[in-house]
Amino acid sequence: MTMTATVSHPLPEAPFEGRHLIDGIWQESADSATFDRVSPSHGVVVSRSARGGAKETEAAIAAARRAFNGGKWSRATGKERSMFLLRVADLIEANVERMALLETLESGKPISQSRGEVAGAADLWRYAAALARTLHGDSHNSLGEEMLAVVLKEPIGVVSIITPWNFPFWILSQKLPFALAAGCTCVIKPSEMTPSTTVMLGELLVEAGLPAGVVNIVLGFGQPVGALMAEHADVDMVSFTGSTAVGKAISAVASRTLKKVALELGGKNPQVVFPDADLDAAADAITFGVYFNAGECCNSGSRIIVHEDIADALVGKVVALSRKVAFGDPLNPETQVGAIISTTHQQKIAAYVRDAVAAGASLALGGKAVSHPGLPGEFYAPTVVTNVTPDMPIAREEVFGPVLAVLTFKTMEEAVSLVNDASYGLSAGVWSENVHTCLAFARRAEAGTVWTNTWMDGFPEVAFGGFKQSGQGRENGRYGLDEFLEIKSVVMRIGQTRPNWVRGQQDHD
């Protein structure tokens, strides 16, 4: 492992002050309650946010409902929505540095990664702007000369958006611009661990001229804010990214009003490597896939399934590359892997590794917490675990840390069986120089995304989402826009062509 030097980067002189945005007005909580976020890497308070409760949540939902029913946004033209989204994209690009700094300090991710995510998110807003201009329904003119039917696509209504701590700004940008492009109004709750870039985005929305009430932000915790956003009768849809356990809880309470639920949940994503693969390319992609964002990523390539003939060679290459990855101070632009989000999560990661070794697995690298000079935060070493069997929790459950589990296979049938023998189905990868092998695997893998000879390449145009307990619904692409739309059929008769149904002459007293 390469340890990057701690750099002298000026920390903010005072914590960022976050407030709720409700009906176009920035507000403190009614009871003046706040909560602090301590940087997981630097151990200092970096943000202080208003702590919302039922009162603030109710007010935000009511504002979103009034705004939707008022029609200033929900009935705006596609051009009007598109022009607004483009203005926001420009403002995001103009504020990358200040947003990236808070993202790094709150999440522990490297500053270079934060810059890339914030700047890259502007492209999601621009793509959603294009969808707003091209949104259309269908027509049916083959129903007979006396009939014409059209299918309209209308905004679903008020949407609750609940986002996680691992990609606060990026994941919000996979949801909000698409909801706005559709004409919905929204209430947003960011994670209590990473609230600040959502507040900053709210500032940009106001600056860009968004009508009051169209987007509302409530800061706080799952109870009561998130729970009320999921169950409230005036909310038409919930879009959530986070753990599978919380996703199930949201589905349960949302079912009371039969509102739509879109979920992007966990993953235990495999990469299958066949003997004819380019092992150097595979090793680099595997190393990236498991350590990116410190493994705190639903798309983390946290298990590899390697043909037994090349397993030792591939593991050797991955271990060698792992030793070169720059772990360290997130404020150093050279750092590739930063801090773990919290002490509790660090302990969870360590427990998975410890239990695997106790059950007979072997450590090829790492398996321990590490420290970096001058930093009091939580860091975990790059870890490669071999001799893993399919029944071990480390092979089946989401570790959400920089930990790679290695399994082996002999045949395509065995590889596919190992891939699909999981409760998750978010993404999968295959490595082979034979296109037929790749296509055969891609068609049989139970995953929402299958990468061939690459890992975690993504585009605004391409839909993202999971099978099984990795979620339901899709983000990005046209399918991402469709999630926020209702379908309405309008059937029209042309002229006085409807035959009378009543034909008899009988009178009833």
* Neighbouring-strand partners of residue 472: 263
Out of 103, 106, 117, 264, which one is annotated catalytic?
264
Q: Which of 300, 299, 303, 298 is nearest to 270 (CA)?
A: 303
Which residue's entry shows tokens 């939902």? 61
CA 395 to chain centre: 22
Which of the 8 DSSP states describes residue 293? Answer: G
Give the three-class secondary structure for 79: helix
Q: Which amino acid is at 179?
A: A
Q: Which of 503, 465, 468, 469 is nearest to 482 (CA)?
A: 465
Distance between CA 309 and CA 83 in Å, rounded? 56
Q: Which amino acid is at 469?
A: Q
Distance between CA 264 and CA 431 in Å, rounded? 25
Asked if 251 and 240 touch (Cβ cutoff 8 Å), the reply is no
Q: Which amino acid is at 336?
A: Q
Which of the 8 DSSP states describes residue 294? Answer: G
Q: Which residue blocks in 108-236 are alpha helix, DSSP H?
A: 111-134, 168-173, 176-182, 196-208, 227-231
Strands 20-22 and 25-27: antiparallel
Distance between CA 32 and CA 21 in Å, rounded? 15
Count helices and strands in the chain by DSSP H and E runs: 16, 27
Is 106 considered catalytic here? no
Q: Which amino acid is at 459?
A: F
Q: Which amino acid is at 14?
A: A
Q: Which residues are catalytic?
A: 264
